Structure 1
Amino acid sequence: MKKSVIMLLLIQSGFVMAQAKIVVTMNGEKVTIHPNADNGLTANEGFIELGGALIKPTTLTTTDVNTLAIKGLQNGGASDNIVVVDANGVLKTFSAEALSSAKGVKIINDNYTIVPSDYTVIASKLSGDITIALPDALANKGRILIINQDDITNDSGNEVTVKFNKDVIYSDNFKINELASTILFCNRRNA
């Protein structure tokens, strides 16, 4: 009986000793070291490393001076996810495909008023000039609209124009109330 009690005490103390170690610093202070790691950290051969499962909500706080940067990231592709930050600062992801499908293309052939969900508007198969009513620029600061015109002539060969209900500023020296340029995105050099 005595032997089994002593054996149990030795086994228990062995577990305790494996969980924490007391070391003495150069100044003679005793410091207890716990080789445990959790909440995004991993213990690996005496080292605490970044990496592991988060076990509670975790916040990293940065400032204008103390910023957070990640270097060496690989280039992404069309099938990758995009990282976004919600109103509470929580990082989330959604697919790049969801972003492109969320921004629909509206095809018009008559006068049209831009609505909040519009992103790309294409005037196509026009029989005559049309007017697109644009939203107030000050109330839509930072909003991007892509407006394009497929053909500059109608089926009869007459020129047709996409006009706007207000002047559009194309540069410091040029503004006009009609579609004056088109931005083309190409994935190869034009021949």
Structure 2
Amino acid sequence: MEDFIKKIGLYLFLLTSTIVLSQTPGFNYQALILNNEEIQIPGTDVTGNSIPLGSENIILRFTITNETGIEYVEEHNIITEENGMVSLIVGEGTPINFTFGDIIWDGKLKYLNVELNILSNDEGFVFLDSQKILYIPHKINGDRNIKIVNSLEDLTPPHNIGELIWHTKFGKNRNPTLLIWNNTNWVPVNDDYDNSNELGLLVVTDDSARTKKFQNPVVGDQVWNKTLKCIEVYDGTNWVSITTKVLNGLQQKENIIKLGGKLTEPTKITTNNTNTLAIEGLQNSVNNEDLVVVIDKNTGVLKKKNLIQVSQQKQVVILAKDGQLEFTIPLNFTNTENIDVYRNGVLINFTAINSTTIKLEPEAICYKNDKIRIVQLF
């Protein structure tokens, strides 16, 4: 399954074929369409993951070919379901070349080529894959029909070599299959048929329906569970869900993944001169008791700290002279808001003379031995 996903690149398709006994012959095609946009969220390595492409207008183009060329082309203009699923009948689309009824199902190898056009991204059709297809019962040479049976016990011998039948529930997965009599046994016409690994995605309502459908599951069996809204694959012991886990600071609502959640492991964001990290639109703090974020100098881990613990201060006490107003402060300054001046313990106003000198307000003129305490934050 992993190789199949890699092969088609942007989208995941799961194909199943079943006979449709109606006025218009055809076979069922089901697929899970994934969004082709990568998810990139700071602090979380989920690049390359995709989510189902729900409620999108798409066109699926099906081309049936044989060893000599194209036999039939049709298109389906549809909207994906909310969970990204599509289900349609190949044979009931809009014919582009030839007609479905003219296809000769003679047991020779045919291929189903699938292309996808997501109308919202203006990229046109993207080729997805080419799969061998099973055969639909059809008149051969205009004079005989392939017999349709639900069980080999429905057949009465003798049988002729090369005789064809359409078995509606063949193999462990009970897939509809074209069989041929080889003078000993009824065997699938399709040379690569393997009922344990066919790309057949069956849809079940819940776990109970899945158990009834797969009474003796084999490794690789897979279903779309409508209740869980995910693909499940049998690993030989349990049914394992194939779905994106949302962890480590993320949360998921339906098919949307967004920031917000509990970190489950140490998380590191690496920046450089080009790829910087910025947070815009932060509110201004008016609370002196608010905390500030600091960075541990050894580990780089973010921590919180009280503002008074972050700020350092320098202070000096000067015994004033009689009539003194001007004083030199401990450090050069550019902002007087970082300086407080006290005269005999009382906070007083001042102005800056230059980057090293301040002048007290006239009403605070000093007497001899007044204590002037200058406190400077830096």
Band the TM-score falls in, shorter-chain normalisation: 0.3 to 0.5
Write 1 or 2 for the structure with the bigger share of strand: 2
**TM-score normalized by the length of structure 1:** 0.44
Larger Rg: 2
Bigger helix fraction: 1
Structure 2 length as normaliser, TM-score?
A: 0.25
